[in-house]
Amino acid sequence: MFEALSDRFQGIIRHLTGQGRLSPDNIREALRDVRRALLEADVQLDVVKEFTSRVEARAVGEGVLKSLTPGQQVVGIVHDELVSLLGKSPVTLAGSPHLPTVVLLAGLQGSGKTTFAGKLARWLKQRNKRVLLASADVYRPAAIDQLERVATTAEAGFWRAPEGATPLEIAAGALEQGRTRGFDFLVLDTAGRLQIDEPLMQELADLKRAVRAHQVILVVDGMTGQEAVRIGRTFAERIGIDGVVLSKMDGDARGGAALSLRQVTGKPILFLGTGEKLDGLEAFDPQRLAGRILGMGDVVGLVEKAREAVDEASARRLAEKMRRSEFTLEDFLEQIQQLKKMGPLEDLMGMLPGVPKEAVAQMRPDLSKFRRYEAILQSMTPRERRSPRVIDGSRRRRIAAGSGTRVSDVNQLLKEFDQARTLMKRMRHGPRGLAALRGRMR
């Protein structure tokens, strides 16, 4: 996501900050590179012109050029203007005092509305909200069945209207169910079309009016680039929307739609969707996203990912066991599984500030080794994971056969685990213990 744009911006930043002095010509040259980078990222031309004009107006000021760190000052201006372009501050999904809060999803066919409905249900459930899903799409074959499966996976409520019900009847029935069953949110999926047409707009307008939707969210395929901007503008003008979701953002390294949509529609971007899994939803934060694009990292996002994946009580328990040197292979397996929940390791490393892409590539861990170790650990019995000393030669052969690995792989895991336990024991004794360990390693 934004990989190509981030690469270009970071190159421009390195060039700017590497110069001791800057002149208006230096800055204008850098801004030409910025303009090209934004256009290549599929950002709308008018948005690019306005952005670069604002940066130039601030960057060529006497205070910047005569400062001790002009390059850093210009980078700060680019960051500020990027945040302003993206929306200044995050906007969350607004709830209503009159339950349920009705969220109407709009968008073209294939934009990812149904998948987003499940992701939103999961996101709300994590915030202790009860969510009911319903589909008013009576045209696409199996659309209602698909949403029902998504609702089951998201552990959300689902309401199915009687056979032959119209979209308006489905919406009215779902609203009644939401009220009587005490749901906090009703998320109503709607039909899409291959292109914007009058019947689609009229149906959405009727549904919005019938359920008195508190939030109309437009789901746009982030891979459609400039077309996403046209779609966003049309829905905003014809239906009236409260926010935008960009789906499939992991499929396009450019990301220009995100930089154009908010400016063009005047409406906030609420979420970015990545992948098909229901945990692939990220609340949109302009400050953090600007930092990631400019290579400044996203420590807040990294902490949030860790918080979602790792149970706090479990983390404290593991830390205490490590302190006492009571860490077992069972704990090691738990750590691997929690790490996997946080997503690809290279993505997590890319969220650290000041880590260039080249360094991330060089530090990329051997993921096949993690998968191999997980298979080996799962092939062990609980007793073997708790007491590795019982794993003799015959057990090692059985574990290797059960995990589809070699005995040498099992031996390697046990050796590395034993070395880690030795290190933990030495650390308990402070500097003396570590000094003794260094002496043994020489």
Domains, the chain, in order of start with CATH, read 3-86 (1.20.120.140), 101-296 (3.40.50.300), 305-441 (1.10.260.30)
Handedness of CA 148, 152, 156, 162 (dihedral sign): positive
Average pLDDT of span 157-169: 91
- pLDDT for 129 equals 94
Rounded to the nearest integer, the mean pLDDT of the chain is 80
Q: For 437-442, which contacts have Cβ atoms below 8 Å and span 24 or more sequence positions? A: none
- pLDDT for 10 equals 78
Strand partners, 246: 220, 272
- pLDDT for 92 equals 84
Instruction: Calculate the dihedral angle through the C-alpha atoms of 238, 244, 249, 252, rounding to the nearest 10 degrees.
Output: 40
pTM of the model: 0.67
Around Cβ 182, how many Cβ atoms within 10 Å?
A: 10
Q: At 424, is the pLDDT very low, low, confident or very high (cuts 50, 70, 90)?
A: low
Which position has the higher pLDDT, 91 or 175? 175
